[in-house]
Homo-oligomer: A and B are copies of this chain.
Amino acid sequence: MDFKNRDIISIRDFSRQEIDYLFQISDSMEPLTKRSNETLKGKILGTLFFEPSTRTRLSFESAMLRLGGRVIGFDEPHGTSLEKGENLADTIRVVESYSDVIVVRHPLEGAARLAAEFARIPVINAGSGAEEHPTQALLDLYTMKRELGRVDGLSIGIVGDLRYGRTTHSLAYALSLYNVKLRLISPDLLKMRREVLESVRRKIDAKETSDLGAIIPELDVIYMTRIQKERFADLAEYEKVKSFYKLTKSELRDAKDSLIVLHPLPRVDEIDYEVDGTPYAKYFMQVKYGLLLRMALLSLVMGAIG
């Protein structure tokens, strides 16, 4: 399995074997978070966030620093060359002179793929448009693997904004590589994109519903998402659906004991704070697993291991 110099653009570029191998490497990263190491000593990560995302940026930065590497970058387009009218290809060809690997987040679909085409160093997509967020999907799966011991055989409900939420698209594609039951739970306005649904249904059992409560008892994983105001062109639409789902402790009454609740974060009010104290809540563990997964990815594409 050779990840060296590979671009990480879409979850659809991965085979199941590759994902399983990546999880194995992620496991081996855990001791490295505790002690100083020089796996990526002298290497520089360039973080190009054309759209702000503190959480994802800090996760990649921490992953790089934990491996002994260093970081440069920017986290908002204001004041960058972009604002002066530069195109993405030029920005990439400049930054690749300053760094050894690039992480890019961009509001437009296809931007990460374009960046990878121009860069001679590896590019990792940290979210592009409403379409793809592959490292989030990988860490979501990795959390299931770590917390439940397996992905095959699980019944997984993805809840909330399945139309604009790029996380849910990448996750659905990733899950379709495994033998799972997928339940897509959303208000009508925010149903899963047709092309994603069709692609996924060719491989696994995927059903749509808007009733979260009725389906909870059969689920092994509830994956909650935020209704993202910033993705709506029409705020009136947003107002209609913004508080459609709110997971409370009492709603989890009939859940399986082994149920885990995940969330890509940040949450607003989709998960009641009282859920935090239950054994179901694994959304903060997701953050830790995400760090390990990104450490693994950086190490692999830089050729430091594997």
Q: How far is the CB of A239 from chain B (nearest CB, A)?
A: 15
Q: Does A14 contact B (CB under 8 A)?
A: no
Q: How far is the CA of A188 from the CA of B85 in the complex (A)?
A: 24
Instruction: Kindly identify, within residues 33 to 65 of chain A, every residue whose CB is under 8 Å from any CB belonging to chain B.
Output: 35-37, 41-42, 44, 46, 52-55, 58-59, 61-62, 65
Instruction: Kindly identify, within residues 56 to 100 of chain A, every residue whose CB is under 8 Å from any CB belonging to chain B.
Output: 58-59, 61-62, 65-66, 70-76, 78-81, 83-86, 90-91, 93-95, 97-99
Q: Across the interface, which residues of B come within 8 angstroms of A265, CB to CB?
A: 81, 86, 90, 94
Q: How far is the CB of A3 from chain B (nearest CB, A)?
A: 21
Selected from B53, B58, B94, B266, the residue in CB contact (under 8 A) with A85 is B266
Would you call the interface of chain A mostly helix, strand, loop, or mixed?
Answer: mixed
Instruction: Kindly identify, within residues 211 to 232 of chain A, every residue whose CB is under 8 Å from any CB belonging to chain B.
Output: 226, 228-230
Q: How far is the CA of A99 from the CA of B66 in the complex (A)?
A: 9
Whether A74 contacts B54 by the Cβ 8 Å rule is yes
Q: How many residues of chain A get a CB closer than 8 Å to chain B's CBs? A: 53
Whether B98 contacts A58 by the Cβ 8 Å rule is yes
Q: How far is the CA of A288 from the CA of B94 in the complex (A)?
A: 8
Residues on A lying within 8 angstroms of B by beta carbon are 35-37, 41-42, 44, 46, 52-55, 58-59, 61-62, 65-66, 70-76, 78-81, 83-86, 90-91, 93-95, 97-99, 226, 228-230, 265-269, 284, 287-288, 291
